[in-house]
Structure 1
Amino acid sequence: MHPDLAIERNFPLVSLNTFGIDARAQYYVRVESLADLRAALADPALAALPRLLLGGGSNIVLTGDYAGLVLHMATRGIAATAGDAGTTYVRAAAGESWHGLVEWTLARGLGGLENLALIPGTVGAAPIQNIGAYGVEMRDYFHSLRVFDCASGATFEMDAGACRFGYRDSIFKHADGQGLVIVDVTFALPAQWRANLRYAELAQALAEQGGAAPTPRQVADTVIAIRRRKLPDPAVVGNAGSFFKNPVVSRAQCQALLQTYPTLVHHAQPDGSEKLAAGWLIDQCGWKGKSLGPAGVYPKQALVLVNNGGASGADISRLAQAIQQDVQARYGVLLAPEPVFV
């Protein structure tokens, strides 16, 4: 083992995953610098092990103890530089809190990320999932990111095209991106900011507040209030936020469903497809507020699965599968989980 690397054995992960699942890592390294990462992967004993990159643990379901090496990305640092035409480039280390980054930009009068306030997790995890909320996706303000290639040991920049962003998707969720570790991410924030109020609930909440055009701070505060009202705090109730992706179906399939279910919640997409509301589908199947053992569906939002106390990864998986089966049986639509099962 590398003499300068702090390597922990049988390390508890219960506080490092937002579901609060009690699992342990065979080996654990807290990565606070690129040098730490290089050292861990240069160590022959560690490099040969299965490897799990862990940020805020907000998008994983631990199905048991991890027989391998957990690399906990805990790098820090945020900096801003001026770009062309008044654009501000903000680069943040992968281990920074995502919401902390949003607050950092707001404190400096920079708009763009406010609709994504209070999303749990780290900066490095945001591109992997292409996080999104209230009418905005991370890729809307993404500029580039820097990765470490575990195979070659090289670091290099990737732009949006190379990252292949999609709906809750990116290259990092596919085979050709598995060996790439995100080191830091740069965002391009506009000089001429305009509030994105495409999401009806957000627009209505801001309209009810009255006053002039909202500021980025006001938009963020409203988003935070909505999220706190609808979603459980992972520090109180274990959860991973929205558990299922909103399924995308063809227009023909959507029209056929509307014949039987005229109140079906759907949103037309630019390519002619239709995005259905997964939470509505789950709610209509009667799962909101119900439990299956120690795992349950949050009473205020059917899209959120929760750990009611002592739930294992198997408990969460059992509940998710039961919901998937019910939705598919009634609507002919298969829901895909957002979190990764490990």
Structure 2
Amino acid sequence: MNQPSDVISDAALAPYNSFSLQARARYLYLLREPAQLTELFRWIYANDLPWLVLGSGSNVLLLEDFAGVVIINQLAGITLSETKSDYYLDVAAGEDWPSLVEWSVQQGILGLENLALIPGTVGAAPVQNIGAYGVELADVCQQVEFFSIAEQQQQCLSPAQCEFAYRDSIFKHALKDKALITRVKFRLTKQWQAKLNYGGLRELGEGASAQQIFQQVIGMRQQKLPDPKVLGNAGSFFKNPVLNQQQLQQLMVKVPAIPVYPASAGSSKVAAGWLIDRLGLKGFQHGGAGVHQQQALVLVNHGQATAADILSVCRHIRHQVWQNFALVLEPEVRFIGAHGEVNPDTVLGRPDASQ
């Protein structure tokens, strides 16, 4: 089968990953219409090529050049409908997430404000079940539409079928490499209630408006998180550890002041950034990579970092946290090798491997 005319060969990926790493793709494809997908995947599979979808490339670490097709999701469009009780947003997967949140707050369509300024596209949000300041994508998602690679057609999943969990979903497991998200539908109640359970939002008080929450979240994120256009980064690099009660009690004997947040099924989350900061690792550097001076959870490219530099910083942090707190930090960022996503432990090793 002939190569589609709009496939670009030997393309630089620095503009398409927020770490600004100098990787390349054998092929690059700009996806603008769902109708393009059938022809594209017939060609991909006829030539046995690996493939990868990137939106803004804000949650990936490109370990090396990609040996197949990198699909840049540029699907666009937002449709709004409503009932007496709810607003419904039908949003194409290539739309910019921060812009969607800002637009919804301006329109008085409330419920996304706690998720302001999370980098990435709408299509990436369900994969990661993005979350911040007490709200997750799962709380507002009504449906996820995707192109099934095997069936060569559009299919839909309910939130329950998406198997959302902490920074996790079915798209990382049963549907990994089998689905390309094309649209996400949101249900936002008109009986809005402020979510103020996280530090920095409580100070707004119970009468806080969605606009005030939106502005507060923007301010907090801008204060802590560097602009990837200025300093390459992928946002929060590590997940917050989720602990059972016994693990939490053991940790709090060592560090009673650690911030603790409720998680599902009686478990608790503790702040990974706080642990890294307590170890004095803000500003730690190796090669061109380092830990951000203002936010210990963020690894940055100081200009000429390689993937190996970032991995070295990551290994050092994981080793120090394990040695001091007996916790293994799991990367939130997806590691991408030449043929697709790889298990971070395969690349990094585990600090607790000798236990």
Give the TM-score range, shorter chain: over 0.9
The residue aligned with 2:48 is 48
> Which runs of 5 or more residues in structure 2 are unaligned?
337-355
The within-5 A match list for 1:260-275 is: 260-275=254-269
How many residue pairs get aligned? The number is 336
Deviation at 1:177, TM superposition (A): 3.5
Deviates more, 1:228-237 or 1:248-257: 248-257
**3-state SS of paired residue (1:328):** helix
Distance between the aligned counterparts of 2:262 and 2:16, measured in 1?
37
> Which runs of 5 or more residues in structure 1 are unaligned?
none
Deviation at 1:4, TM superposition (A): 5.4
Distance between the aligned counterparts of 1:54 and 1:270, measured in 2?
30
Distance between the aligned counterparts of 2:280 and 2:221, measured in 1?
23
Distance between the aligned counterparts of 1:23 and 1:148, measured in 2?
27
The residue aligned with 1:202 is 201
The answer to whether 1:124 aligns with 2:142 is: no
Change in Cα spacing, 1:32 to 1:268, as seen in structure 2 (3 Å) is: closer
**3-state SS of paired residue (1:305):** strand
The residue aligned with 2:173 is 174
The answer to whether 1:216 aligns with 2:210 is: yes
Deviation at 1:121, TM superposition (A): 0.3
Distance between the aligned counterparts of 1:175 and 1:319, measured in 2?
31
Deviation at 1:6, TM superposition (A): 0.4
The answer to whether 1:285 aligns with 2:279 is: yes
The residue aligned with 1:74 is 74
The within-5 A match list for 1:24-63 is: 24-43=24-43, 48-63=48-63
The within-5 A match list for 1:11-26 is: 11-26=11-26
The within-5 A match list for 1:75-114 is: 75-83=75-83, 85-114=84-113
Output the TM-score relative to the length of structure 2: 0.91
Distance between the aligned counterparts of 1:237 and 1:45, measured in 2?
37
Pick the aligned partner of 2:330 from 299, 315, 336.
336
Change in Cα spacing, 1:270 to 1:13, as seen in structure 2 (3 Å) is: closer
Distance between the aligned counterparts of 2:125 and 2:302, measured in 1?
27
- Are the equivalent residues in 2 in contact too, given 1:147–1:183 (CA < 8 A)? yes
- Are the equivalent residues in 2 in contact too, given 1:268–1:274 (CA < 8 A)? yes
- Are the equivalent residues in 2 in contact too, given 1:298–1:306 (CA < 8 A)? yes
The answer to whether 1:276 aligns with 2:270 is: yes
Change in Cα spacing, 1:163 to 1:44, as seen in structure 2 (3 Å) is: closer
The residue aligned with 2:289 is 295
Instruction: Output the amino acid matched with 1:202.
Output: L
The answer to whether 1:165 aligns with 2:159 is: no
The one-character-per-residue Cα deviations of 1:95-142 (angstroms, maximum 9, x if unpaired) are 000011112212221000011111100000000001011111111111
Distance between the aligned counterparts of 1:104 and 1:225, measured in 2?
17
Distance between the aligned counterparts of 2:258 and 2:145, measured in 1?
42
Change in Cα spacing, 1:44 to 1:305, as seen in structure 2 (3 Å) is: closer
Instruction: Output the amino acid matched with 1:172.
Output: F
Distance between the aligned counterparts of 2:334 and 2:264, measured in 1?
28
The one-character-per-residue Cα deviations of 1:174-224 (angstroms, maximum 9, x if unpaired) are 1443311101000001111121111121121x24xxxx9333222211111
**3-state SS of paired residue (2:228):** coil
Deviates more, 1:73-82 or 1:167-176: 167-176
**3-state SS of paired residue (2:120):** coil
**3-state SS of paired residue (2:90):** strand
Distance between the aligned counterparts of 2:77 and 2:297, measured in 1?
33
Instruction: Output the amino acid matched with 2:215.
Output: D
Pick the aligned partner of 1:256 from 220, 241, 250.
250
Instruction: Output the amino acid matched with 1:18.
Output: S
Deviates more, 1:258-267 or 1:86-95: 258-267
The one-character-per-residue Cα deviations of 1:137-174 (angstroms, maximum 9, x if unpaired) are 11111100111011120211100011000000001111
Deviates more, 1:312-321 or 1:232-241: 312-321
RMSD: 1.6
Output the TM-score relative to the length of structure 1: 0.94
The residue aligned with 2:237 is 243
**3-state SS of paired residue (1:271):** helix
Instruction: Output the amino acid matched with 2:10.
Output: N
Instruction: Output the amino acid matched with 2:64.
Output: G
